Amino acid sequence: MPYKLIVFDWDGTLMDSEARIVACIQAAFSDLDLPLPTPEAARDIIGLGLDEALAVLMPESGPEGRRALIERYRHHFLVANETPSYLFPGAVETLDWLRSRGHLLAVATGKSRRGLDLVLDSTGLGGHFQATRCADETFSKPHPAMLLELMDELGVRGAETLMVGDTEYDMQMAHNAGACALAVCYGVHSPERLLAQGPLGCLADLVDMPAWLERRRRLDRDGEELT
């Protein structure tokens, strides 16, 4: 197989949680009587670790100000906000197919450990992944630490690792870690932004991934051009 390890971003790649994240960011700013970021600005930082994301949205804030925002955001995301989030169509079937083909699976996400554990439990997908990394455990994307730690834990080289994500931060992290990158163009960043980072492809739908991987196998075997 061309990739022993396939690492997924979570929000915007496996789960459609954009509306919930944007609502919780705006609620956190409102709680502290701060000017609300636009939905577009809040959407654009999805994928970063929470501290790094808030530093982008409020660059004049110091660590103490960001800690207060993080506390309010987590209150809304974990407790108060009821905006539903759903797995993208075909996510479970794609993960099942990858497992059946012997791929190791992992998650590298800007979510907190508490937040990721919550959604892994609620979706029943925890058992699908051999390892996971969250932004509050190591450096945020696009720093390569999450991928490097996952590869080291699972004994896989960069050339054997495929990072799948919906943001330029995912693509940059893969490049920084010496891994391969595959974009999905239904998430928060536009196909143009994603393709500017040089991924191997940009999928319109997650269910297209098995066919894409099969074409990669033929390319590796026969030198066939991948389109």
In whole angstroms, how large is the CA radius of gyration of the chain? 17
CATH code, residues 18-80: 1.10.150.240
CATH code, residues 5-16+88-222: 3.40.50.1000
CB-based contacts of 81-84 (< 8 A; 24+ apart in sequence): 81/20, 81/23, 81/24, 81/27, 83/19, 83/20, 83/23, 83/24, 84/20
CA-CA distance, 69 to 60, in Å (whole number)? 13
Quote the pLDDT of residue 226.
45
Domain ranges of the chain: 5-16+88-222, 18-80
Kindly tell me if the per-residue pLDDT of 21 is higher than 80.
yes
Are the folds of 5-16+88-222 and 18-80 the same?
A: no
Percent of the chain with pLDDT over 70: 97
Active site residues: 9, 11
pLDDT band at 33 (very low <50, low <70, confident <90, very high): very high
* Predicted confidence (pLDDT) per residue in 177-194, tens digit: 999 999 999 999 999 999
CA-CA distance, 189 to 181, in Å (whole number)? 15
